[in-house]
Amino acid sequence: MFDFQLLGTDGAARAGVYRTPHGEIETPVFMPVGTQATVKAVSPRDLRDLDASIVLANTYHLYLRPGDELIAEQGGLHAFMGWDGPILTDSGGFQVFSLAERRQVDADGVTFRSHLDGSEHRFTPEVSIGIQENLGADVIVCFDECAPADDYDYNVEAMDRTHAWAERCKEAKTRDDQALFGIIQGGVYPDLRRESARFLTGLGFDGYAIGGLSVGETKVQMHETLEIVTPILPADQPRYLMGVGTPRDLVECVARGVDMFDCVLPTRTARTGAALTRLGRINMRNAQYAEDPRPIEPGCDCYACANFSRAYVRHLATRNEILGHQLLSIHNLHLMVTIARELREAVLAGRFPAYREAFWAARRAAKSDQ
């Protein structure tokens, strides 16, 4: 039911196609985040129109409400949210560990209190897999522990737990129509990252996620970590960088061998009135756009840019109108999906270095650091 075919490389950059029970995913790919079984302010129809091929949903949040068993009774996530394309669910690990004072970790799993009502719950590798099997996503991931990037001793402990839990996740999985990705941890420490990548590839998963990045480390540290990890991973399986996704991240991380990305930033910034562009982020609430007849980003063919002016979008943003959230979300996601597609085309044409240089040259000319 699952097959990843590598179609071309240009340096470390890759282009491929990942076949799943709900359709093909051309890589590199950006995955819009639908935490609560919905991409905020964007309908499934909008997602199809902007050529999104896969969305992500959140195990922790859907477990708490409306409940994974209810979703299973409704036919699984695809039927529940009206999306017939591929879906990936995370394990809930990052959300659980971000609860800080609300959770307690042991060798078997994590006991935590809900951020909603304080009720007590427990996640183990088996529980996480069971929830994800109820949700019915095409791609599920192992339960892991995401540690602070700058604490070596804690990263050793978290990595060891992540490895033990990965073995249990693989044993607990029962559905053949779901692919299971292992998650590589180890902070920004080269020895731990190498150990984690080698251990998990030794177990043999359907793909590999790189976790524990974009959690406070520098861009240089992120890039150095990817340069350590991706050469260890099998060339014939997909590589997923978790929680990373700005235009410059896509360009630089594809250059280091990553295939799949997700991030809440495009829709989260949209709800603050910000637009992502190739040249950087712009605040659409600024007064300078009050009479600007141009689209959000000249040259963009998304629904928002094809039909509305900056002046109108600013009007919506300053009044906190829902349509403003929708239009900015559509534009921001369209940009990310489009850049991923362009990166793919550049790899297949053997012109990835030229694309990368042109991307950065335009930003340097605009003096953008965002």
336: Cα within 13 Å, side-chain hemisphere = 31
Q: Which residue has the tokens 């340096």?
A: 11
Q: Are the C-beta atoms of 52 and 84 separated by less than 8 Å?
A: no
CA distance 349 to 294: 32
Q: Are the C-beta atoms of 98 and 90 separated by less than 8 Å?
A: no
Q: Which two tokens stand for residue 48?
A: 């199809």
Assess whether 90 carries a catalytic annotation: yes
Question: What string of DSSP letters covers 139-185?
Answer: EEE-------TT-HHHHHHHHHHHHHHHHHHHHH---TTSEEEEEE-
CA distance 256 to 347: 12
CA distance 38 to 325: 14
CA distance 242 to 229: 14
Assess whether 262 carries a catalytic annotation: yes
Q: From the centroid of its chain, how far is CA 331?
A: 17
Selected catalytic residue, list 10, 68, 138, 262: 262
CA distance 105 to 111: 7
Phi, psi of 210 (to 5 degrees): -110, 110
Selected catalytic residue, list 10, 46, 68, 90: 90
Q: Could you list the active site residues?
A: 90, 262
